[in-house]
Each structure stands twice: as C-alpha cells, then as structure tokens.
Amino acid sequence: MAVQRILTIDNAADLAILKQVSKPVEGVDDAVRTLMDDMLDTMYDAPGIGLAAVQIGELKRVIVMDLGDKPGVEETEEEDAEARRNPRHFVNPEILWSSDEMFTYEEGCLSIPEYFDKVERPARVRIRYLNYQGETIEEEAEGLYAVCIQHEMDHLNGVLFIDHLSRLKRERAAAKCKKVARERMAA
C-alpha cells in the first residue's frame, strides 16, 4: 500500500483534474482493490473520513470512507482509533433516491485544506454500489454517512463542496487554501 499525494484547489493543474467527471470502472479486480487500499492509506494519513479516486488523480468512480463507526467497538481513547476503523469501499456508486428532508452539516475536504463551511444536503439517500469484493450493495444512508457519501459522489462528478456555497465563500475558501499551501512550503 502507498500514500498518494492529494490534489488541492490551490494548484491550477490539480483543480483542472478535480473538476473532471470520473469514468465508471469495468468491475472490481486486483487493480481496483489496490487503488482502494492506496486510497485508504492516503485518507488515514491525511487524516480524513472519505476520499474519491479523483482526489489522487485517478478519474475512476471509486470512493473509500471510514467514519470510525465499527459496530461493537466503543469510542473511548485516542489509541482505540484503529480499533474503531470501519473502512468502506464504493465502486461505481449511484444515488437511487434522496429524501425531501434536508440536513445541514459543516463539511471540510482534503482537497481544500483547513476550510470548513455548512452545506445543506438531503438527510437520507438510497445508494447502490459495488463493494471491495465486487458484490452489488443497495442500502440507505443517513446522518454523517449520507453527508459523506454525497460529498464524495460530488467529487466523482467534478463538484467540490464549496460549489454549493456563494461565490464569496468559494473565493474565501480558495484564498485560505493558497495561504495554507504557502505556510506549508515555508515550514
């Protein structure tokens, strides 16, 4: 497994890739599983809770996610974070249904470092995707799971969470991302 570089909006070439629509994959094979493993390593290293393949420059409809919600494991101490891991894999995900009820959540993104803002999305969605083994899964997502899967699926369509915000807030996010990049280069 390998940690990959995450594309960020402060880099024009990265942004051009992030704004592209990802292509469906033919099926889940060893190459796709290796991609998902690398994506998880990258996401955990960042750290984050979700990552779309486009964020590491792969224009494939693949997402990984880990909300740290492994069933039967209590959230106690920091060292238990690994025990709470519950990696999820989504290949060619699609939203089949969205609730009329909306949910607002303060989102962030690994491609827009250190910027957070509230986004309103459907509170529940029904999704279909292929899992790590290539099996077709259909399930309903709500709460943070629904927010995260919609956020990551936006990436697959070339949409960033800041695209749901006003122009002023988008400009503020871009300026903050550039400032963070400069500070990291100076350190």
The two tokens of residue 129 are 């995707």
Residue 94 annotated as catalytic: no
Residue 68: band (very low, low, confident or very high) from pLDDT cuts 50, 70, 90: confident
Tell me which residue of 174, 158, 176, 163 sits closest to 55, measured CA to CA: 158
Q: Residue 160's CB: how many other CB atoms inside 10 A?
A: 19
Q: pLDDT (tens digit, 9 = 90+) per residue, 92-125?
A: 999 999 999 999 999 999 999 989 999 999 999 9
| Domain 12-186 class in CATH | alpha beta
Residue 85 predicted with pLDDT over 90:
no
Q: Which of 77, 78, 79, 152 is catalytic?
A: 152
User: pTM here?
Assistant: 0.91
Q: Where are the domains of the chain?
A: 12-186
111: left (phi over 0), alpha (psi -120 to 50) or beta: alpha
